[in-house]
Amino acid sequence: MNRVLSISLWVGATLLLAAAVHAATLYALPNIVMRTAIARIGAPNTIHHVKRADATSRGVVRPSPDLLYSICPFDLSDGPLRVSAPVPADTYWSVSAFDGQTNNFFVKNDKQISGKTDFILAGPGTDMKTLPANVVHVQSPTMSGLVLFRTLIFSERDFARIDTQRRQATCAPMRARPPEPNNGG
């Protein structure tokens, strides 16, 4: 009887540990995937214009060869970012933002905004009232994540023009105005 009880206890402990390891890795996976993707893209808080996807592309799984991706991995721990880009008039275009758990928390497309997108991206805990009121505010649920611009290559003939325009997107830290130079007075 003692032996049966002892075996049950050890087997139970093994299964408990298995369940705990399974749950922990399952919940951690999105975060690990996001960190890996961000690390592959490059430096945070600046925009990276990814070359058109082909068979050598390894940044993100299942890339679309018909879209141009521009990506800004962000780290908002030093303050908000200002994100802006021209919105093309004649093709599908979208700007989306994903948090550190891979969740999509913001998306707009070219049917919803025209001309230009311009917004401030702030981290959790930011007092949004302190930000300039004349610009759209977007709050990320996590400090790190990424902003992704998609531009459709609707015709091969127009590729150069589409590519040039999407490269005008910017993403940079919002800084206080630098102090006036001190000229000895």
Partner 1 sequence: MRTSVKILTVLVVGSALGLGATYVTAVHASLPGGVCDGVWHTNLSIGSSSGSPYTRARVALHGLLALNRSETMYYTATTDAAGDPLDGACTYKLKGRILDARWWSITAYGADDYLIPGTDGHYSFSLNDVRNNAGTNYTVKISAKESGRYWIAVKPGRFSLTLRLYNPDAPVVADPAHADLPSLTKESCA
Residues that bind partner 1 (CB under 8 A): 10, 13-27, 29-30, 33-34, 37, 53-58, 60-66, 92, 94, 96, 98, 101-105, 107, 109, 111, 146, 148, 152-156
Least distance to partner 1, CB of residue 138, Å: 15
Q: What are the φ/ψ torsions at residue 64 (nearest 5 degrees)?
A: -90, 125
Of the two residues 25 and 168, which places its CB atom closer to partner 1 in the complex?
25
Q: What are the tokens at 48?
A: 């990276």
Output 118 or 158, the one with its CB closest to partner 1: 158
Minimum distance from residue 167 beta carbon to partner 1 (Å): 20
**For 171, how many CA atoms within 13 A lie in the half-sphere containing its CB?**
25
Q: Please, what is the minimum distance in Å from the beta carbon of residue 161 to partner 1?
A: 15
Give min distance, CB of 34 to partner 1, in A: 7
Instruction: Specify the residue, 35 or 78, whose C-beta has the smaller distance to partner 1.
Output: 35
Nearer to partner 1, 1 or 55 (CB): 55
**Residue from 98, 81, 100 nearest 143 by CA:** 100
DSSP string, 102-135: S-EEEEEETTT--EEEEEEEE-TT--GGGS-TTS
What token pair was written down for 103?
């969740």
| Cα 150 to Cα 70: distance, rounded to the nearest angstrom | 7
Q: 123 and 76 in contact (C-beta within 8 Å)? A: yes
CA proximity to 145, closest of 75, 96, 83: 75
User: Nearer Cβ to partner 1, position 120 or 153?
Assistant: 153
Write down the least CB distance from residue 32 to partner 1, Å: 8
Q: Residue 74's Cα: distance from chain center in Å? A: 6
Pick between residue 158 and residue 174 the one whose CB is nearest to partner 1: 158
Residue count (the chain): 185
- What's the min distance (Å) between Cβ of 15 and partner 1? 7
